[in-house]
A and B are shown apart, each in its own frame.
Chain A
Amino acid sequence: MISEKIERILPLVQKPGRYTGGELNSVVKNASEVDIRYAFCFPDTYEVGMSHLGIKILYSLVNAREDAWCERVFAPWVDMEEKMRENDILLYGLESGDPIKDFDLVGFTLQYEMSYSNVLNMLDLAGIPLRSADRRDLTPIVIAGGPCVCNAEPMADFFDIMLPGEGEEVTNDLIDLLKEHKAKGSTKQEFLFEAAKIKGVYVPSLYDIEYNDDNTVKAIKPLGTAPEKVEKRIVSDLDKVYFPETFIVPSVEIIHDRAVAEIFRGCIRGCRFCQAGYIYRPIREKQADTVNRNCKNICDSTGYDEVSLCSLSTSDYTNLEELLGKLLDWTEKDKVNIALPSLRADNFSKELSERLSSVRRSGLTFAPEAGTQRMRDVINKNITEEEILSAARKAFDGGWTSVKLYFMLGLPTETDEDIVAVAQLAQKVVEEFYHNPNKPKGKSVSVSISVAPFVPKPFTPFQWEAQNTKEELLRKQQLIISSLTSRKISLTRHNTEMSFLEGVFARGDRRLSAVIETAWRKGCKLDGWEECFRLDDWMQSFDDCGISPEFYANRERALDEILPWDHLDYGVTKSHLVREYNKAHNNETTPHCREKCAGCGANKLNGGECDALRESAACKKRQS
Chain B
Amino acid sequence: MKPFTYERARSPAEAAAAAARRPGAKFIAGGTNLLDLMKLQIEVPAHLIDVNGLALDKVEPTPEGGLRIGALVRNTDLAADERVRRDYAVLSRALLAGATGQLRNKATTAGNLLQRTRCPYFYDTAQPCNKRQPGSGCAAIGGFTRPLAVIGGSEACIATNPSDMAVAMRALDAVVETVRPDGTTRSIPIAEFHRLPGGTPHIETALEAGELITAVTLPPPAGGRQFYRKVRDRASYAFALVSVAAVVQRDGTGRVALGGVAHKPWRVEGAEAELRRGAKPAMAAILDGARPTPENAFKLALAERTLASVLAEARG
Instruction: Judge: A and B partners, yes or no.
Output: no
